[in-house]
Structure 1
Amino acid sequence: MPRVKVSVIVPVYNTGKYVDECAPSLLGQSLPADEYEVIYVDDGSTDDTLARLEKLAAGHRHVQVHTQPNSGWPGGPRNRGMRHAKGEYVQFVDHDDMLGPEALERLYDHATRNRADVVIGKMSSTMVRPRRLFRHTLDSCTIENEELMQSMSPHKMFRRAFVEEHGLLFPEGPWIMEDLAFVTAAYLKAERISVLADYPCYYWMKRDDGGNNTRHRFNPRHGFWPNLRTVIGQIKGGTEPSDDVDGLQNRLLHRLYHVEVLSRAREPEILREDPAEQRRRFETAREVALEEFPAAVRRGLPAVSGLRAELLEGGDFDGASAFAEHIRAVNVRSELGTPHWQDGRLVADLTVELLRGDSEPVVLTERDGTWWLDPELLTGVPGAEDGWEVRDPFRMAYAEIVVKDRDREDWWYPEGDLEVRLRPLGDGRSGLSASGRLHLDPQRLAGGQPVGRGVYDVWAFVNLLGVDRMVRVIGQGAPGAPAAGPALVGGRLALPYRTAGVGQLTLDVDQRLRRLGPDTADAAAANSARGERTLPLPYVAAGPGTPASVKVTVSGLKTTAEVAPDADGPTALLRLPARLKLPDGRHPVTLPKADAPVAYAVIRGGALLRLEGPAYEAGAGRRILDAVADNRQVRRVRRRLPGRPG
């Protein structure tokens, strides 16, 4: 009997219909059913959840269901699931999430190949922004890679013997941040951690009833602050203290300080919540900051975060609120050069920069060799009247291009880096911006593999001075219009365009929403070429690969044509069927949603004689020959004409 490779553990409580939505992704794995098991642990549900689970188990031998009295949180059910697990690895899944069809097989193979204690699979989510951790697949790393702290949810694969050896358990009962406690302990103990970034393994999606919204995570009544102190203690107990801002302990604590503590002093929370309630949170966060975090953690923060920390630890709630108002208004401007195709990739220069609420760049001013934060951001902030020093403008600064698969909610990282730099603006002022070149390759975008048929929106993420923003990459030109000519790449048509409304750069692959037609009409109208059964399409960049099918209309007759790579140049060839049921003559060929012909088909006896560009003008002698084209002697003479393709 095959050994169980993976045990999937799913805690459930009053899940209802979400059981049926999640289950197909667990039962439809590429890993054979006798090589993994699905363990549901019901935490005392009071609705029909248990009945749904028992129906699943009755129809699938590798599904088991366990029940327990309600504990109030998923930690207990997960621990119980681990006690029943037989797999070499355990994978935690929440009842309202989904796995990619090949997730278990790929994660297990990656784990065993690298002898990993923990494997972090690429997550796709509608609730959090894309994580830099998933830019590249990593065979092996340790907690020294602090980017691991970007992924603290339990939705990972853990080697069961490793978990048992170190006695790793989730805190039980109503214990907020039970996932942080378990994952932090695992990271600190693991000798080898692997990251699988080239395949979307886990889909963490917002429920339509808001039941898994992360806004509900913060709840002081469930021990938020004591639990946070526990996790801080884990990090301190597993690492050495240091006065160096880049010491391991300080780098790991940065995540907890920034996300769990400093959130109480920044937008949107400090501006959204009831002021009386938020003041209480603010004061408690201040106590935790002063008592639990070394001074080096705050010293290592970028400029904006550093001022927030100063206001928090100084107890200045009003100052923190005023500063949050200024920062909330900060947005990002993207400047995109003219996109064009180069070697099968859509290429364009890109620059992004921070803007204040008045649409002017966020600036740094230089005085006596020292940089100071934009004074417009400090207006009305008590204690900052004399300015705020920016020790290192590039501290933790980065920017990157990300592409969203609109249909599947997957995020991918194209080739091309954005370099952060200071841009002189005159009068001792400089703006912090990031610039570089976008390389969008449909054949390699999905983790080095071709993307599927779909629509791909281009975004940029920036983190400058401690201000992070996602921004749509917008180019010049009319919204809804083509951003560049279409390309035939790898046998698929890629159509770059600007979305209606905002004009975001977007790539349609395999005509998911766009159609080859309007994108080629202007260029095709000027085409004066003449071919046999093929005709070059101007401005259609061709890459290696097989032809792509397109719908065309020839004088009212709808048929399927091909767009094929031209072996002699960076264009594509339009190829029509050899026979068409049309009368003799010259017939316009149009593409979908395009009025102007892309070509003319010359038909004789139901056969395609040749294709001509709209601007092609045949000489009088050739028109006579066409009229008698069915004469054998004429055809022999015609083949000898100058310019006739051999």
Structure 2
Amino acid sequence: MPPAPPPRVSVIVPAYNAMPELTRAITSAMDQTLGLDQIEIIAVNDGSTDGTGAELERLAHGCPALRVVHQENSGCAGRPRNTGLDLARGDFVFFLDSDDYLGPDALRRMVAMADENGTDVVLGKIASVGGRAVPRAVFSHNQPRTDVFSSAAYLTLGPWKLFRRSLIERLGLRFPPYRNCEDKPFTVAAYLNASGISVVADYDCYYVRYREDRRNLTLVAGDLVHRMDGIGLCFETVARYLEPGPRRDRLMRRHVEWELCGPLRGLLWRESEEDARERFYPRFRHWARTWATDAIRRQIDAPDRLLVHLLRADRFEDVMTVARNAKEDARRGHVVDKGRVYWAHPFFRDPAASVPDECFDVTDRLPVRHRLEGARWRGDGVLELTGHAYIEHIAALEPGTELVLRRYQSDRPEVRLPTTPRSAPGLPDDGRYEMAGFTAEIDPATADGGAPLERGLWNIYLDVRAQGVSRTVRFGNDREGDEATHPGPRRVVAGPEGRTTVVTPYFTPYGNLSLDVGQVAHHLDAPCRVTEVVWHAARSGVLVVSGRLTCEAGEEDGGRLLLRAENGRGAVREVPVRYVESMDPAGAPARDFTVRLPVRRLSRGRWTLTLVMGGADGADGAGGEPCRAAVVPRFARLGGTRWLRFGRPYYAKPLAWGPAMALAFEVAPVRVATGARRRLRRLRRPGGVAVGTGGSPVRDTERVPAG
């Protein structure tokens, strides 16, 4: 009789005196929509004395998928997890703490994400129960394929993730026997060796909570003696897999801030004088000297910069003083001097302390508070913005704030426009920011030094100034209600020839204000409607766009429709459409169209797509009227694609961009290592057949034509 196929997921649950939370943890794994025939649950009772073992046996009696292992107490979570890893048979492993529980559809979603994208680690959205802190930045949106350098994944190093078991076994990964920080080196090693990382952000996959008795291991084993070995291993693991340089510094910065400066400031001074000086301080000093490079020191906040400086200078007494008084000193004010702002710490410019000013410089870290209160088109075609902005802790005396317009993906100079100061009553700090209000005017016809704004997407910034200090920030993500701040598209007369351009204010997915100048015409004069966007079934790297002309456009004499691809540097590629006479649902004559764009011939970079209706010459409509444009929307089902160019693999990844979420593409060469891993995965599949991201099967013997 052939052996049973391995499960898709091995759920490993370390348990020590875990009642009553344990029951929900285990049943949440049993109730997964993936199905118990696809799951094995390995629960390791680590020498419990409260009834945990009996409860596990009771649950296992009615669930063949649950395997219970009893072992002597190890005092940490790592050893029972290792026991589970030694027994695991699944394609994937998920570590479920006995305090927490899974959402019912969690494993199915995470496995599907890994399967579809060939990734080795999947982060499922973490939800808080009872106020326990959870990471948020990485879960802002789904990420089918990313890495630690392109996302916020490195901010969460807990083990509550889906790991491909072949990765774990290839690296020989196991948890060290520490009571605290044992999970971080494991996750770091997996991150840095994974073929890719996926993020499931649209579903609460994992619920973390504090135990009723507050006996979570991270709370009861939170002192330095339980942390030091794990902290050191974090630094060593990053150094093992990354060469010195910006990439290593980016990850090391996290450990300098969280694993070095955080515990030092919060815990070192609580230790006895002897232990602090002889047992712990030398290791903190070593880490600061070894891993906190000059580049990292420039990036971290002033309190951490000060601690690292004192550690590197071997000033134990001063380190203890700074750590002991950290909370009090954090509330001290600021000093403004020659356009720079400094933290008014007692050591600042104290000759006896002899600490350089750079350790206290907070100029680039002070929060800029700003709000868009109104945005409206005036009758003369000018967009008027009102709001307020100020640099926190600096009184807004004689502000010189400017509006800054930067054309997206362009090297051309930015456009700067003055603002008119006005009062802003009601802001905090007893009138300190009373004159932080402003009004700004954007005239698209003359904004660029008397010339009209160029066609394209323009991002809007504020250069906020006060007392000689200048901070530039993206503008618009904090604003009043929709009615006050959402003006529609406007036809603007611009240029010496009196040509018209449609200008559309819009908010990006991050909530920031931008302008679309002549890119997307919306309902004002859209000539057509797109119904389908797909990759060509037989020609790699060719995009097929289909749709129907609007009635008005179809009646135009001599007009022709073009599919236009344009990058941020002004390069344009246009392809004419082909018409087919048809009937609309009401039985009236209609004109359908199809156009094929060879995306594989586009140079690397980001390209936006629009459909443009021009006259017979392809430039202007009848009577010299400008082109009319329609957005090519981003269809959710459209995936990426790959092709060969001069023997090198390239890819196109669809994006959504602009006011109407227009279709854009990121075109770039595939990294050699990534391409090799994908080919190996195809070779391992039965029959040597893989499904490409465009939806069509790709055989290993297939050769995609170059170009």
Equivalent of residue 123 in structure 2, options 112, 117, 120:
120
Could you tell me which residue of structure 2 aligns to residue 260 of structure 1?
Answer: 259
Matches within 5 A, 1:367-378: 367=338, 371-375=340-344, 378=347
**Change in 2 beyond 3 A, CA 1:420/1:184:** farther
Deviation for aligned residue 1:393: 3.3
Equivalent of residue 142 in structure 1, options 138, 143, 147:
147
Q: Does 1:366 align with 2:301?
A: no
Deviation for aligned residue 1:9: 0.6
Counterpart secondary structure, 1:124: strand
- Give the aligned residue type for 2:47: G
Matches within 5 A, 1:5-404: 5-125=8-128, 126-145=131-150, 147-171=152-176, 173-174=177-178, 176-212=180-216, 214-222=218-226, 224-242=227-245, 247-266=246-265, 268-269=266-267, 278=276, 281-317=280-316, 319-320=318-319, 323=322, 328=327, 356=331, 362-363=333-334, 365-367=336-338, 371-375=340-344, 378=347, 383=353, 387-388=357-358, 393-394=363-364
**Change in 2 beyond 3 A, CA 1:31/1:400:** farther
User: Contact 2:252–2:291 at 8 Å: present in 1 too?
Assistant: no
Counterpart secondary structure, 1:31: coil
In the alignment, the residues of structure 1 paired with residue 7 and residue 364 of structure 2 have an alpha-carbon distance, to the nearest angstrom, of 49
In the alignment, the residues of structure 2 paired with residue 84 and residue 40 of structure 1 have an alpha-carbon distance, to the nearest angstrom, of 11
**Change in 2 beyond 3 A, CA 1:78/1:325:** closer
User: Contact 1:254–1:297 at 8 Å: present in 2 too?
Assistant: yes
In the alignment, the residues of structure 2 paired with residue 152 and residue 167 of structure 1 have an alpha-carbon distance, to the nearest angstrom, of 18
Counterpart secondary structure, 1:288: helix
In the alignment, the residues of structure 2 paired with residue 420 and residue 309 of structure 1 have an alpha-carbon distance, to the nearest angstrom, of 31
Deviation for aligned residue 1:71: 2.7
User: Contact 2:188–2:237 at 8 Å: present in 1 too?
Assistant: yes
User: Contact 1:327–1:377 at 8 Å: present in 2 too?
Assistant: no
In the alignment, the residues of structure 1 paired with residue 124 and residue 334 of structure 2 have an alpha-carbon distance, to the nearest angstrom, of 39
- Give the aligned residue type for 2:344: P
In the alignment, the residues of structure 1 paired with residue 323 and residue 191 of structure 2 have an alpha-carbon distance, to the nearest angstrom, of 33
Could you tell me which residue of structure 2 aligns to residue 428 of structure 1?
Answer: 467
**Change in 2 beyond 3 A, CA 1:375/1:220:** closer
User: Contact 1:43–1:77 at 8 Å: present in 2 too?
Assistant: yes
In the alignment, the residues of structure 1 paired with residue 92 and residue 23 of structure 2 have an alpha-carbon distance, to the nearest angstrom, of 24
**Change in 2 beyond 3 A, CA 1:384/1:197:** farther
In the alignment, the residues of structure 1 paired with residue 254 and residue 304 of structure 2 have an alpha-carbon distance, to the nearest angstrom, of 12
- Give the aligned residue type for 1:10: V
Counterpart secondary structure, 1:194: strand
- Give the aligned residue type for 1:184: V
User: Contact 1:146–1:252 at 8 Å: present in 2 too?
Assistant: no
Deviation for aligned residue 1:272: 5.8
In the alignment, the residues of structure 2 paired with residue 308 and residue 433 of structure 1 have an alpha-carbon distance, to the nearest angstrom, of 28
- Give the aligned residue type for 2:50: D
**Change in 2 beyond 3 A, CA 1:366/1:389:** farther
**Change in 2 beyond 3 A, CA 1:274/1:213:** farther
User: Contact 1:123–1:203 at 8 Å: present in 2 too?
Assistant: yes
In the alignment, the residues of structure 1 paired with residue 293 and residue 221 of structure 2 have an alpha-carbon distance, to the nearest angstrom, of 25
User: Contact 1:265–1:312 at 8 Å: present in 2 too?
Assistant: no
In the alignment, the residues of structure 2 paired with residue 419 and residue 159 of structure 1 have an alpha-carbon distance, to the nearest angstrom, of 48
Deviation for aligned residue 1:385: 7.5
User: Contact 1:177–1:227 at 8 Å: present in 2 too?
Assistant: yes
User: Contact 2:60–2:67 at 8 Å: present in 1 too?
Assistant: yes
**Change in 2 beyond 3 A, CA 1:378/1:186:** same
User: Contact 2:368–2:389 at 8 Å: present in 1 too?
Assistant: yes
In the alignment, the residues of structure 2 paired with residue 166 and residue 117 of structure 1 have an alpha-carbon distance, to the nearest angstrom, of 12
Deviation for aligned residue 1:140: 1.0
Deviation for aligned residue 1:134: 1.7
In the alignment, the residues of structure 2 paired with residue 167 and residue 76 of structure 1 have an alpha-carbon distance, to the nearest angstrom, of 15
Deviation for aligned residue 1:209: 1.4
Deviation track 1:436-490 (CA, whole Å, cap 9, x = no partner) reads 545899xxxxxxxxxxxxxxxxxxxxxxxxxxxxxxxxxxxxxxxxxxxxxxxxx
**Change in 2 beyond 3 A, CA 1:377/1:199:** farther
User: Contact 1:9–1:39 at 8 Å: present in 2 too?
Assistant: yes
- Give the aligned residue type for 2:165: R
In the alignment, the residues of structure 2 paired with residue 114 and residue 44 of structure 1 have an alpha-carbon distance, to the nearest angstrom, of 40
**Percent sequence identity over matched residues?**
31
**Change in 2 beyond 3 A, CA 1:328/1:436:** farther
In the alignment, the residues of structure 2 paired with residue 30 and residue 440 of structure 1 have an alpha-carbon distance, to the nearest angstrom, of 42
Counterpart secondary structure, 1:64: strand
**Change in 2 beyond 3 A, CA 1:431/1:215:** farther
**Change in 2 beyond 3 A, CA 1:399/1:23:** farther
**Change in 2 beyond 3 A, CA 1:328/1:203:** same
In the alignment, the residues of structure 1 paired with residue 328 and residue 184 of structure 2 have an alpha-carbon distance, to the nearest angstrom, of 32
**Change in 2 beyond 3 A, CA 1:185/1:52:** same
In the alignment, the residues of structure 1 paired with residue 14 and residue 180 of structure 2 have an alpha-carbon distance, to the nearest angstrom, of 15
In the alignment, the residues of structure 1 paired with residue 217 and residue 5 of structure 2 have an alpha-carbon distance, to the nearest angstrom, of 39
Deviation track 1:238-264 (CA, whole Å, cap 9, x = no partner) reads 11112xxxx011111111111111124
User: Contact 2:42–2:69 at 8 Å: present in 1 too?
Assistant: yes
User: Contact 1:25–1:101 at 8 Å: present in 2 too?
Assistant: yes
- Give the aligned residue type for 1:64: R
- Give the aligned residue type for 1:300: Q
- What's the RMSD between the two structures over aligned residues? 3.8
**Of 154-163 and 286-295, the range deviating more from structure 2:** 286-295
In the alignment, the residues of structure 2 paired with residue 436 and residue 9 of structure 1 have an alpha-carbon distance, to the nearest angstrom, of 46
TM-score, normalised relative to structure 2: 0.49
Deviation track 1:524-545 (CA, whole Å, cap 9, x = no partner) reads xxxxxxxxxxxxxxxxxxxxxx
User: Contact 1:282–1:317 at 8 Å: present in 2 too?
Assistant: yes
In the alignment, the residues of structure 2 paired with residue 375 and residue 225 of structure 1 have an alpha-carbon distance, to the nearest angstrom, of 32
- Give the aligned residue type for 1:31: L
Could you tell me which residue of structure 2 aligns to residue 472 of structure 1?
Answer: none
In the alignment, the residues of structure 2 paired with residue 66 and residue 207 of structure 1 have an alpha-carbon distance, to the nearest angstrom, of 23
In the alignment, the residues of structure 2 paired with residue 2 and residue 385 of structure 1 have an alpha-carbon distance, to the nearest angstrom, of 65
User: Contact 2:231–2:260 at 8 Å: present in 1 too?
Assistant: no
Counterpart secondary structure, 2:396: strand
User: Contact 2:302–2:343 at 8 Å: present in 1 too?
Assistant: no
Structure 2: gaps (5+ residues): 372-387, 398-465, 482-707
- Give the aligned residue type for 2:194: A
